[in-house]
Amino acid sequence: REARILRRLEHPYIVKLSSAFIEAKHEHGTVMKGYLKMPVAIGGTLWSWMQQVKPSDQQKHRVLMQILQGLEHLRQNRIVHCDIKPANILMSSQNEHALPQIADFDVSKEQEDRARELAATVTATIAVGTLAYMAPELINMHSRQGRVSHKSDMYSYGVLMLEFLTESPSRGIQGDDTPRLLDQLQQYAKDLISQLIIPDPNNRLSSIQALTHPY
C-alpha cells in the first residue's frame, strides 16, 4: 500500500520512491515481504535538525510552509497520512537551507478505503506511540465527528507546529501546557495553530485555508 500511495505522489516536500522490491510472496500472490528504496535524507528528522541547526524564526516559518504545501498535495490526491509528527518529517541536509519531506506512509490511507481499514489504521498508529499528535476523531472513531479525513492530518500538523515553534516536545493538546505554549508565540502563529487544533474537524482549517492565513 505504501508503494502504491507514493507512486501517486510527486512533490518536492514528499519523500520520493525510487523503487520497490518484493522478496517473498504468498502462494496466492499476496506480498509477504518487500522493501522500498528512497533517497537518503541526511538531515535527519525535523526535531533532530532543529536541535542541531537551531533555525531562526524565519527559517522555521519557511519549513512549516513547505510541509503545509506537501499536505495540500496529499489533499489534492485524496491521501490521509494518519501519522504526521516530527519523526515523520525528514530533512534534506544538515544546514539551515534544508528542505522538509513528509515520509513514512505505512499507515496512510486513500480516502476511498473502507471504514474498517481506517479503524485498523488508528489501532496501529496508537500502538506506535503517536497518540499526542492524533486528532480527536481518530482517537474516538465512534464519535459524532468520527470520520477520518484530510482535517485529521491538519490537527496533527497543528500540534507539530506548536512543538516546532516552541521547541517543546508534545504531550498532547489536552495537556495543561498548551495555553502557556501558545502565549509564547506571535499573534499570527498563535491564531493559525488555534484554528488547526479545533476538536471539531468541520471547523478546523484545511491545508489550502492554512496556506492563505496571514502567518
112-157 pLDDT per residue, tens: 554 445 555 554 444 333 788 988 888 876 655 557 889 999 999 9
Average pLDDT over every residue of 37-46: 76
CATH class of this structure's domain 41-211: mainly alpha
Helical ranges in 99-186 per DSSP H:
115-127, 136-139, 150-166, 177-182
Output the nine-digit C-alpha cell for 180. 502557556
Output the nine-digit C-alpha cell for 178. 498548551
Average pLDDT over every residue of 91-107: 89
Reported as a pLDDT band with limits 50, 70 and 90, residue 109 is low
pTM for the model stands at 0.81
Query: Would you say residue 158 has pLDDT above 80?
Result: yes
Note whether 71 and 157 are within 8 A (CB).
yes
The catalytically annotated residue of 83, 104, 153, 176 is: 83
Tell me how far apart the alpha carbons of residues 145 and 147 are, in angstroms, rounded to a whole number: 6
Which residue from 32, 41, 4, 42 is spatially nearest to 20, judged by alpha carbons?
4
Residues near 122 by beta carbon (within 8 Å), at least 6 away in sequence: 82, 134, 138, 139, 141, 148
Reported as a pLDDT band with limits 50, 70 and 90, residue 16 is confident
Active-site residue flag, 83: yes
